[in-house]
Amino acid sequence: MARQLSIRAIDLVLRLCEQRRAEIAGHVLRVHFGGVGDELIAAGALVEMAPSEIVFLPIDFDDQPVVFDWEPDLQAHAAFHPADGWMHAAETARRRYRLEFPWLLRSIAQQLEIPAATRSACLVPDLLWDLGDAWFGGHKATVLFGRRLGQVEGQDLACDALTRRVGRPPGILLTSTRQMSRHVTVPGQHRVLHLTDGMRGDVPGFAIDTDIISGVLSGIRPQRPAQLIDPSPDFRIVRALGQTFTFKGDKQRMIVEHMYYKWRDGADRISTAEMIADLGLREKARVRDHFKTHPAWDVLLTEQQGSCWFLI
């Protein structure tokens, strides 16, 4: 059961979801993730694939990964080192594992009490699935899961598929993608939620909090009209209040971007301390210190008593 997995294991699952091929080499799993791999294999989340024909191992050849090719004369995967001669790769180094998407979809469906008889429908191969309908606060909603939705091609395919299904109950698009483009409007009035943002914090492992999903669906955190603040993709230029503001500094753009997404999701005021911690800025710094005489200060954004906000 996914509920019994550690947070580290779930984090690896979501990281694999965002790879083009949701696969991982056995030695990478062993060296970098330790017991997490055993957890996922035992749960059925990772399944062993056919062994790799070419092996990359981080052995000290000038700190570069080494390719171990099959050497017929040696009847082994090997690489030649100028000083040490032939080095062999153990057969276990050829192991590879893939993430089982049916396992992940079943795990999500079980937690949301979607009937076991309901089969997930693949809307876009290897990208987007409809898990069925679930009940949240007395309202029926469609439950979707998508991955790699930060890629333009993936977004287009997902939106095309959902456009063809407009008429289904509006619902929740759970995703492994941390942040979709602000320009994407999901057809069918589905709300987007990163899977970890919908997890319970009071229990170990993977447990979806249906109250969070209910809140998102009921509009507790409504998105504001995007046209009130119109930033460029890199937040170098922001149009608002009938003016155009230019932000040249990296920290300025980071702050404005962070505030924008909080504001767009319904936050009136943002904690300065939390934002500084989230962005890795210098502790005890004030937001105003990063703007000083910038024309946007006290016109577009401001800070008082430990909070900052847009003057919209």
Name residue 69's amino acid.
D
- HEC states along 1-37? CHHHCCHHHHHHHHHHHCCCCCEEEHHHHHHHHCHHH
Strand pairing category for 172-175 and 191-194: parallel
d(CA 69, CA 53): 7
d(CA 279, CA 282): 9
Tokens found for residue 47:
């399944």
The fraction of the chain above a pLDDT of 70, given in percent, is 81
Contact call for residues 210 and 143 (beta carbons, < 8 A): no
Q: Is the pLDDT of residue 61 over 50?
A: no
Lowest mean pLDDT among 31-45, 70-84, 152-166: 70-84
Q: How far is CA 118 from CA 96, 231, 271, in A?
A: 31, 42, 43
Residue 250 has pLDDT above 50, yes or no: yes
Q: Tell me, what's the pLDDT at 285?
A: 74
Let me know how long the chain is: 312
Residue 191 CB: number of other CB atoms within 10 A?
Answer: 19
DSSP state of 79: E
| CB burial string 90-104: b at 16+ within 10 A, e below | eeebbbbbebbbebb
Rounded distance between C-alpha atoms, residue 271 and residue 49, angstroms: 47
What pLDDT sits at residue 62? 45
H/E run at residue 260: helix 250-264
Q: What is the pLDDT of residue 190?
A: 87
> What is the token pair recorded at 77?
């995967």
In the chain, what are the helix, strand and coil shares in percent, each to the nearest 5?
35, 30, 40
Amino acid 302: pLDDT: 93
pLDDT of residue 74: 65
Closest CA to 137 of 76, 50, 74, 212: 212
pLDDT band at 122, cuts 50/70/90? very high
